């Protein structure tokens, strides 16, 4: 098996937490690989898998546009590279994003994940919460979801698999080589979701 290289898009957000969860996942699975923090086109072009962490999605989009990374990320994903979008990362991957309060947003999006997103779907920062959810389609029966200014998915395309719902709102999906969650798995001790992503990268490489 070849060594895999997973990158964490290091513009802002929970970069360190995702780095540690991915390292631990590779270790537990016995998969030979490296985890790197990436920003530039050159770094992104060498990846076998990419995690786009939570944070401020508009900021991620604007900064990715500046250095040309947006185009490279899109090309890599379209050619089969697995990607894991978390909270803001899920918004960034989507085709359509609308804020529950302010309506349409003009932020740059990757236009890959065939979903409609409602930003701040559960309220603002003070409305952050944790909840047990299940992602049975990928073999995770119970997971502690940490929701921070979380979005949700209001509509999905026909090839999008719903992995989890909370209060009837869609909070995790999979579409081919793309996994996306509205919650922050890197803020728990449970690395089962990161392990699932690392397996996907390993199988593709």
Active site residues: 87, 184, 186
Q: Is 36 exposed, middle or buried (0-12, 13-18, 19+ CB in 10 A)?
A: middle
What residues are paired with 131 via a beta bridge? Answer: 145
| Biggest CA-to-CA distance, the chain | 48
53, 8 contact by CB (below 8 A): yes
Contacts 24+ apart (CB under 8 A), 116-120: 116/153, 116/154, 116/155, 117/90, 117/91, 117/151, 117/152, 117/153, 117/154, 118/151, 118/152, 118/153, 118/154, 119/57, 119/91, 119/151, 120/149, 120/150, 120/151
Strand positions, DSSP E, the chain: 4-9, 33-38, 49-52, 83-86, 94-99, 103-104, 113-119, 129-135, 140-147, 152-156, 161-166, 169-175, 178-181
């Amino acid at each position: 098996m070849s060594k895999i290289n997973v990158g964490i898009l290091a513009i802002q957000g929970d970069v360190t937490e995702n780095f540690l969860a991915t390292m631990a996942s590779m270790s537990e699975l016995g998969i030979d690989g490296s985890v790197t923090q990436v920003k530039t086109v050159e770094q992104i072009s060498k990846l076998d898998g990419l995690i786009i962490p939570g944070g401020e999605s508009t900021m991620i989009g604007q900064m990715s546009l500046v250095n040309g990374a947006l185009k490279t990320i899109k090309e890599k994903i379209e050619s089969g590279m697995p990607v894991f979008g978390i909270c803001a990362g899920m918004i960034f991957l989507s085709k359509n994003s609308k804020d529950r309060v302010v309506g349409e947003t003009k932020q740059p999006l990757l236009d890959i994940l065939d979903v409609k997103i409602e930003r701040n779907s559960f309220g603002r920062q003070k409305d952050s919460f944790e909840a047990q959810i299940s992602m049975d389609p990928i073999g995770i029966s119970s997971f502690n979801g940490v929701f921070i200014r979380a979005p949700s998915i209001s509509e999905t395309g026909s090839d999008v698999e719903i992995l989890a719902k909370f209060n009837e709102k869609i909070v995790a999906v999979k579409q081919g080589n793309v996994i996306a969650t509205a919650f922050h798995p890197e803020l728990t001790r449970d690395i089962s979701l990161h392990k699932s992503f690392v397996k996907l990268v390993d199988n593709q490489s």
